[in-house]
Amino acid sequence: MTSEMPTFALSYTTPFFGPDPDRLVAVAKQADARGFEGFYVPEHVALYPGARIGAWEMPTDLQYLDPLDVLTFVAAHTERLLLGTSVLLLPYHHPVTLAKRLAGIDTLSHGRMRLLAVGVGGLPGEAAAVGVDYTTRGRRADEAIEVLRRLWAEDENGATFHGEFFNFDNIFSYPKPLAESGLPIHVGGSSPAAARRAGRAGDGWLPGGMLKDDERQALWELVRSTAREAGRDPEAISYTRMGSLEMTAEGVEKMAAQGVTRIIVAAPAGEPEEQCAELAEFASRFGLG
């Protein structure tokens, strides 16, 4: 496992900060200027009374902007930030249209759509709202990952796929991502199924924050063992973790020793000037940029 120091990325949550474009631009520009590697935004497609994450009942008026719209906007106002989702709910998107949207963002941002993390969702009512059988969402995600990669590959015959949920022959999708290998697909989730998916098919793994250290480490070992069983190199799979702006150098070193390659910290609260000052202090403390 790597022991190199992780890179740092910023998570910006529109349900907390609202849809204010000026605040979004100010925070993104500060992250860009201060040496943060990437900028992540979350997704929920639809909420409903009683929707819960763990014990927390989600208010129905949370303003989850479309993450790909947000990232396109951020790309237009920044120069180097990599663009990420934490996480895009893959079963709720058709992969043929999604392939074009993602490749378009990558093209318009000069190749910065590099931190796509996908998950399967945990709200049955959200799945029902978009016409997806909740019990099939894992299988849908598996197929969608394969569809995306086939559509992004350059093939004179186009892409063909026949699965349980998606079927097409000789389809051409443009633009392509700028990298010939397509876009990296990181798998998000804190379940054994998500860890196995990351090992089988992911370029990286992004667990949630509701795990104990030993549980998280066991899942990371499951990612790596699954990759080996699938004939893949586990060293090629990146490991992204959530951290905090208050974390210490010792905490970062501990994560690095566990194999973590990237740490995401949440944008701070407060007015935009306060947010930018906190980001500047964090960047200075860890020598970013």
The strand ranges marked E within the chain are 7-11, 38-41, 52-53, 56-57, 82-89, 115-119, 159-162, 167-171, 185-188, 204-206, 238-242, 262-266
Beta strand 115-119 pairing with 204-206: unpaired
Q: What is the pLDDT along the chain (289 residues), one digit of tens a residue?
A: 446 899 999 999 999 999 999 999 999 999 999 999 999 999 999 999 999 998 999 999 999 999 999 999 999 999 999 999 999 999 999 999 999 999 999 999 999 999 999 999 999 999 999 999 999 999 999 999 999 999 999 899 999 999 999 999 999 999 999 999 999 999 999 999 999 999 999 999 999 878 999 999 999 999 999 999 999 999 999 999 999 999 999 999 999 999 999 999 999 999 999 999 999 999 999 999 7
Distance in angstroms (rounded) separating the CA atoms of residues 234 and 227: 6
- Predicted local distance difference test score (pLDDT) of residue 3: 63
Distance in angstroms (rounded) separating the CA atoms of residues 107 and 109: 5
| pTM of the shown model | 0.96
Place of tokens 């910290």: 265
Q: Environment class of residue 36 by beta-carbon count within 10 Å: exposed (0-12), middle (13-18) or buried (19+)?
A: buried
Q: In sequence order, what are the residues at sequence separation of 6 or more whose Cβ sits closer than 8 angstroms to the Cβ of residue 133? A: 127
Q: Are 3 and 257 in contact (CB under 8 A)?
A: yes
